[in-house]
Amino acid sequence: MEPLKRLARRVLPRRVRSWLRRQIREVPHRLHDFGPDLRERLARFTNNRQGPPLPPAALRRRVGLTSSRDEFLTLGRNVSRDLLAAFAEVRRSGESFPRWLDFGCGCGRVARFMIEAGVGEISGVDIDRPAVRWARRHLGPGFQAIEPRPPLPFADAAFDIVYAVSVFTHLNEEKQLDWLRETHRVLRPGGFLIASTHHESLAWTRPDLIAAQKEKLAADGFLFAAGDGPFNDDSAFHTLPYLERVWGGLFELRTYKQHGLVGYQDLSVWAAKS
């Protein structure tokens, strides 16, 4: 096996090797979930279904390490739990927050549990058109595809809450600033942005970083490192002082939890300034 690996490293480009590794990792999950996925597809024709179905394996794989049904449900449930706990910490008693936007909703891995929790009216946006089409069909009409750049198709102050899970963790600084301004526009004054970011201690997840990049992160408090594959292969890292300095121009930090999202990404809640 090791000689084959060495040969592959010499012959195949890194992106191809990464793709092959992902396909090999998928095999046991596709085999394990074949039966449940098939039963779910058949249930469409018998109306014998309780609650929304799971997205097909290909869409689940886009938002997770694998296409595993168990991973999809467990992570979605735990992320929604942590988002709601952070929101509960900062909300003011008696104040209503009925309009929620899932910014980067994908196929609704988190939104399905927010809907189940009855938080209010859920809308969702994403640049992944197949994923959004699925979410719109199965979770509700409030899901729509957007372009990679602003604006969002909403009026000013259209939402009380915007949450962004694993979005700012993969955007370069220019795009982040553009989308921060846009999320501020669609939030009502005093509404909350709940966002996840990568703590600087997670730089180990990118063993390809060179010394100059690590020095930049230490000096600037921010680093974007492009990957060699899809969107999720790109990485952005934020320090708390950077967030306070840059995001603080538009928002007031209400709470910050290091590794507060499922014990991995940082989680912060920001109130939109007038």
Residue type, 124: G
Residue 47 amino acid letter: N
Beta strands in the chain (DSSP E): 99-103, 121-126, 143-145, 159-164, 187-197, 222-225, 235-238, 251-261, 265-272
Of 181, 198, 210, the closest CA to residue 242 belongs to: 198
pTM value is 0.88
Of the candidates 274, 263, 266, the residue with the CA atom closest to the CA atom of residue 237: 266
Q: How many CB atoms sit inside 10 A of residue 212's CB?
A: 8
For residue 35, report the phi and psi dihedrals to the nearest 5 degrees: -65, -55
Separation between Cα atoms, residue 163 and residue 179, nearest integer Å: 12
For residues 74 and 262, is the Cβ–Cβ distance under 8 A? no
DSSP codes joined into one string, 32-64: HHHHHHHHHHHHHHHT---SPPPPPHHHHHHTS
Residuewise pLDDT in 10s, the chain (274 residues): 555 555 555 555 666 556 556 666 766 766 666 677 677 767 766 665 567 899 999 999 988 889 999 999 999 999 999 999 999 999 988 899 999 999 999 999 999 999 999 999 999 999 999 999 999 999 999 999 999 999 999 999 999 999 999 999 999 999 999 999 999 999 999 999 999 999 999 999 999 999 999 999 999 999 999 988 777 889 999 999 999 999 999 999 999 999 999 999 999 999 999 9
144: β partners: 125
- CA gap 56, 33 in Å, rounded: 10
pLDDT at 16: 58
Task: Count CA within 13 A, CB hemisphere, residue 33.
Answer: 23
- Per-residue HEC secondary structure of 98-115 comes to CEEEEECCCCCCCHHHHH
Contact between 198 and 237 under an 8 Å Cβ cutoff? The reply is yes
Q: Quick one: pLDDT at residue 51?
A: 75
- Please name the residues in contact with 167: beta carbons below 8 A apart, sequence gap of 6 or more: 103, 104, 179, 195, 196
Cα-Cα-Cα-Cα dihedral of 235, 181, 113, 119, to 10°? 160
Identify the pLDDT of residue 269: 98
